[in-house]
């Protein structure tokens, strides 16, 4: 387990010399940064990043969480460049992806809760089941990301709503063979994404 040390702001400002390795610096060959490099980056830029996130989110707690998650992402990423000429630009790129995911999650959660409110009482389930269902929806949304909207719609109507291919075709205004192609395309995306994750 890696712990990020929270340093004093004055200590961070007083630290002399470059705090980030150049292209010949001691960066792991896999692309991982040493925890000490991330710690230095954290000390130098965490407060600034938290302020940057606060301005975009309008919520101090969410900004603090996403700032923390940004550095956790750095510690676990295999795609960190060996040199960072503009560390703040790099941090904002990583953080912006997390912000997009955050907004996406909120939107999906809102849609889920609205659908749940319209469901019959007998379909009510425990908070644990709600959490599992929401996480499953979020994972499915992630897997289908990048596919055309009509492909995602065909897949969801078929696999989640239980519609037949004929019903999906009528709903979308396409042929049944087209619906089958859409569903197969979405299933392939899920399958190969799962292989990539587990491999």
On whether both 17 and 91 belong to a single domain, the answer is yes
Tokens at residue 190, please?
A: 């899920």
What does the alpha-carbon distance between residue 114 and residue 55 come to, in Å, rounded to a whole number?
28
What does the alpha-carbon distance between residue 97 and residue 77 come to, in Å, rounded to a whole number?
14
Q: What is residue 168's predicted lDDT score, i.e. its pLDDT?
A: 92
Nearest to 41 by CA among 61, 14, 58, 18: 18
Nearest to 47 by CA among 9, 11, 73: 9
**Domain final position from 90, 124, 158:** 124
Domains identified in the chain, total number:
2
pTM: 0.54
What does the alpha-carbon distance between residue 39 and residue 143 come to, in Å, rounded to a whole number?
32
Distances (CA, A) of 151 to 101, 123, 137: 21, 28, 16
Q: Structural domain of residue 49, as residue ranges? A: 1-124
On whether both 114 and 131 belong to a single domain, the answer is no
Of residues 189 and 65, more confidently modeled: 65
CB atoms within 10 A of CB 199: 6
On whether both 112 and 145 belong to a single domain, the answer is no
On whether both 136 and 196 belong to a single domain, the answer is yes
Q: What is residue 1's predicted lDDT score, i.e. its pLDDT?
A: 42
What's the rounded mean pLDDT across residues 95-113? 82
Residue 30 backbone dihedrals phi, psi, to 5 degrees: -75, -10
Q: What is residue 119's predicted lDDT score, i.e. its pLDDT?
A: 66
On whether both 34 and 69 belong to a single domain, the answer is yes
What does the alpha-carbon distance between residue 94 and residue 88 come to, in Å, rounded to a whole number?
10
Nearest to 160 by CA among 130, 192, 183: 183
On whether both 137 and 106 belong to a single domain, the answer is no
On whether both 86 and 10 belong to a single domain, the answer is yes
On whether both 79 and 107 belong to a single domain, the answer is yes
On whether both 99 and 3 belong to a single domain, the answer is yes
What does the alpha-carbon distance between residue 52 and residue 195 come to, in Å, rounded to a whole number?
36
Residues 38-84: pLDDT tens digits? Answer: 788 888 899 999 999 999 999 999 999 999 999 888 887 766 665 66
CATH number, residue 170: 1.10.10.10
- What sign has the CA pseudo-torsion 155, 156, 160, 164? negative
Distances (CA, A) of 14 to 7, 8, 47, 138: 11, 10, 16, 43
Burial class of residue 83 (count of CB atoms within 10 Å of its CB; 0-12, 13-18, 19+):
exposed
On whether both 102 and 118 belong to a single domain, the answer is yes
């Amino acid at each position: 387990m890696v712990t990020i040390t929270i340093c004093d702001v004055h200590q961070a400002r007083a630290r002399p010399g470059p705090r980030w390795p150049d292209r010949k610096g001691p960066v792991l060959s896999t692309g991982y940064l040493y925890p000490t490099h991330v710690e230095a980056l954290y000390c130098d830029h965490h407060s600034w990043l938290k302020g940057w996130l606060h301005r975009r989110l309008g919520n101090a707690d969410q900004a603090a969480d996403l700032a923390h998650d940004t550095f956790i992402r750095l510690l676990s990423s295999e795609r960190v460049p060996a040199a960072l000429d503009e560390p703040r630009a790099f941090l904002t790129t990583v953080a912006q992806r997390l912000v997009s995911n955050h907004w996406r999650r909120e939107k999906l959660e809102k849609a889920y809760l609205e659908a749940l409110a319209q469901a019959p009482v007998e379909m009510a389930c425990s908070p644990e089941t709600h959490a599992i269902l929401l996480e499953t929806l979020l994972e499915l949304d992630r897997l289908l990301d990048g596919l055309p909207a009509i492909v995602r719609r065909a897949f969801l109507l078929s696999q989640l709503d239980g519609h037949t291919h004929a019903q999906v075709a009528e709903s979308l205004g396409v042929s049944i063979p087209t619906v089958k192609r859409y569903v197969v395309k979405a299933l392939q995306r899920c399958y190969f994404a799962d292989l990539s994750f587990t491999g």
